[in-house]
Chains A and B, each alone.
Chain A
Amino acid sequence: MTTLPIAVPPAGDAPGTAGRAFGEHGHWPRKPRTWPRTVVIVAVICALTAWSAIAIQVDPATLIRNAHNASNTLVQLFQPDYTFIPDTADALLETVQMAVIGTAVSVALALPISFVASRVTNPSTVVLGIARFIMNVVRSIPDLLYAAVFVTVIGTGAISGVFALVLFDLGIMVKLISEALDGLDRGGQEAALASGATWLKADRIAMLPEVASSYISQTIYVFELNIRASTVIGLVGAGGLGMLIDKVRTFYQYHYLSTIILEVLVIILALELLSSASRKRLLL
């Protein structure tokens, strides 16, 4: 693709003049011709962007017009009503409860499943393949979709939220832990198997302690994800702060809405600090 420095001397170039600068090894290398490729790439990107803009009917004028109309809304949004905070306590508590329960259940379920889904700890390729396929499917469905389905199947409220969170976390957790297991040193396990242990015992004695620290750090991470997710899944009726957001939005109480969003922001930032600090301490 790129021309090597030992280029053919360009026609019409006097060898004497170029040779003076670069010795007898050759001439100034010709710059590789990349512009046709660049033109094609830029054209493709522009075409895609134009297509997408037409498909979603981009209209900056509407935005400006509506922004003018919605200036009242914006003013309300920028004046959060802090007296609303006590009223959010119940929803906030439910959000945290959902996150805690979701984390606890999914983390407990994920540990045995990850041992089944890791090449290192599961000798059976058939079971391994089935487990991995199921977990791939579970992981590829977004949390809000789980929540929407469960709200219709089970009913509104925290229970649907917990179900959605558990399934969503399970996918992530099993992937992370089974991959941590894949990367472990198998020496201890081989020793245990050689001394007559069953696979179950060998995995329990040799692999479980090794994966424990990464398991705990992923648990903290999943909890962090859950707090984020559980504020959102309420928007489709699965309990927590999201339901409150949906309620104040339907009643156009934008100063309440911005209060809630500020609250979410503070919680998420605080949690992020806490979890990164505790994860750092775990690794030391």
Chain B
Amino acid sequence: MTPIGTTPASDPPRVADAPPPAHGTGGPTTGLTPGLPPAARPKRPHHRLRQVVWALVSAVVVAAFWSVDISWDSLGHAPARLVHYIGLMFGPPAWGQLPAAVSATMLSVAMAWFGTMLGIVISFPLSLLATRGLTPVWVRWPIRGFFAVLRAVPEVVIAVLMLSVTGLTAYTGALAIALGSIGTLGKWGYESFEAVDRGAIEAANAAGASRVQVMRWGVWPNAQPDVLAFWLYRFEISVRASAILGLIGAGGIGKMLMDNIQFRVWDVVGMLMITVVAITMIIDQLSGMVRIRIITGRWDLPFAARLRRRRTARAIASALDGTVARAAASDLDGSAARAAAGTADSEDRRKAEE
């Protein structure tokens, strides 16, 4: 935290009674004017609240470690055991069961697709009704509350609730995914409807459009690419969710995994894990390809687009020479990376929230 540009040797000792600068930026007495010798170093800002928060957080963490019902001394041989089990799973995985795994995965994907479609059909009209400017408040807020509640309940818990009504089938899983996706799709829907340019809506209103016509001609054409992309995106999330729902018994690859874990058939478990990861990645890429097509109008695989972007940035950096040019290139690279990180960040968050 040493301020740049001050060499400790030539610095006069700290003056205790120097006026505390606001927010650590140099006041008039810090001597940053060129030509003048550096004056007293500003005192470090004193954050009472920050200290209290740190103390509190540390206390909570320590208390949690102290009080939790875990025998920490048994942790010593955990790594060795972990390595042993990883060896059992992947050395080598049981590829003979792959056909069964693929058909179980197809069931999971079917579950995800049906659930998402059902969620779209239900959430779409609801999110239109929840859009500000299109409907009165007493319609809007109950629907938004409904979305919020659905988003707060984890999908697995919804599935557990539904088991009592429909029994433990893939159909239950699909219904749980549908309910879960209503919450997120509804929210993304009304947010993108509200982000629409007002011009078209005003034009439609001025031309005497009814409420439905305003939605059809003023809102929908503008929001369409975003909303379609969200639908696909939600399908990607649902694929993950369907694998998880299988773990509590709703069929598909998750059920196969759980059965094999419980019977300790580790080589099959390893194979299934690889299958789950591979299929999720493939579906992500396919659906991402369609999403990129909807938004940019070009067919492109997400990972290929990312690679190309990075390569371009690097090519620019190496083509330009000299310090200034390199600085400009690194800035360009940085901003590209920042933009990419921004989207990836929000996407990852959305995905993780499920």
Contacts and interface: CB of A to CB of B under 8 A. Distances in A.
B154 A153 contact: no
A69 to B, nearest CB: 9
A52 B154 contact: no
B107 A55 contact: yes
B240 A142 contact: yes
Given A52-B113, A183-B334, A62 B166 contact: yes
A249 B70 CA distance: 26
Interface string A233-264: 00110000000010001001010010001001
A97 B64 contact: yes
Interface in B143-190: 148-149, 152-154, 156-157, 160-161, 163-167, 169-171, 173-175
A137 B277 contact: yes
Given A57-B170, A162-B70, A152 B165 contact: no
Nearest to A100: B64
Contact of B81 (A137, A153, A236): A153
A172 interface: yes
Contacts of A142: 240, 243-244, 247
Given A66-B165, A183-B334, A265 B171 contact: no
Contact of A175 (B68, B163, B348, B353): B348
B100 interface: no
Contacts of A175: 344, 348
Interface in A148-191: 148-149, 152-154, 157-159, 162-163, 172, 175-176, 179-180, 182-186, 191
A97 B61 contact: no
B102 to A, nearest CB: 13
B47 interface: no
A183 B341 contact: yes
A144 B156 contact: yes
Interface in B323-354: 330, 334, 337-338, 340-342, 344-345, 348-349, 352-353
B88 to A, nearest CB: 10
Interface stretch (A7-15, A24-32, A224-232): A224-232
Contacts of A77: 161, 164
A141 interface: yes
A153 B153 contact: no
Contact of A148 (B149, B247, B348): B247
Contact of B174 (A56, A73, A191): A56
Contacts of A236: 247-248, 258
B63 to A, nearest CB: 8
Contacts of A53: 114
Nearest to A51: B110
Contacts of B338: 182-183
Interface in A99-118: 100-101, 104
Nearest to B67: A97
Contacts of B61: 100-101, 104
Interface residues of A, number: 75
A141 B174 contact: no
B69 A157 contact: yes
Q: Which of A63, A157, A231 has the most CB of B within 10 A?
A: A63
B16 interface: no
Interface string A60-91: 00110011001001100100000000000000
B70 A265 contact: no
Nearest to A62: B166
Nearest to A59: B171
A66 B166 CA distance: 6
A183 B337 contact: yes
A152 B264 contact: yes
Nearest to A176: B345
B261 A148 contact: yes
A94 interface: yes
Nearest to B264: A152
A124 interface: no
A48 B113 contact: yes
B281 A140 contact: yes
A128 interface: no
A131 interface: no
Given A145-B254, A158-B70, 16 more contacts: A52-B117, A55-B110, A62-B166, A66-B167, A70-B164, A96-B64, A101-B61, A101-B64, A140-B281, A153-B81, A162-B70, A184-B334, A186-B330, A209-B1, A232-B154, A264-B157
13 contacts: A56-B174, A66-B167, A77-B164, A97-B67, A140-B276, A141-B276, A157-B69, A157-B70, A176-B348, A182-B338, A228-B154, A232-B154, A261-B153
- The 4 A-B pairs of least Cβ separation, nearest first, read A183-B338, A55-B110, A52-B110, A179-B341
Interface of B: 1, 4, 60-61, 64-65, 67-71, 74-75, 78, 81-82, 85, 106-107, 109-111, 113-114, 117, 148-149, 152-154, 156-157, 160-161, 163-167, 169-171, 173-175, 240, 243-244, 247-248, 251, 254, 257-258, 261-262, 264, 269, 273, 276-277, 280-281, 330, 334, 337-338, 340-342, 344-345, 348-349, 352-353
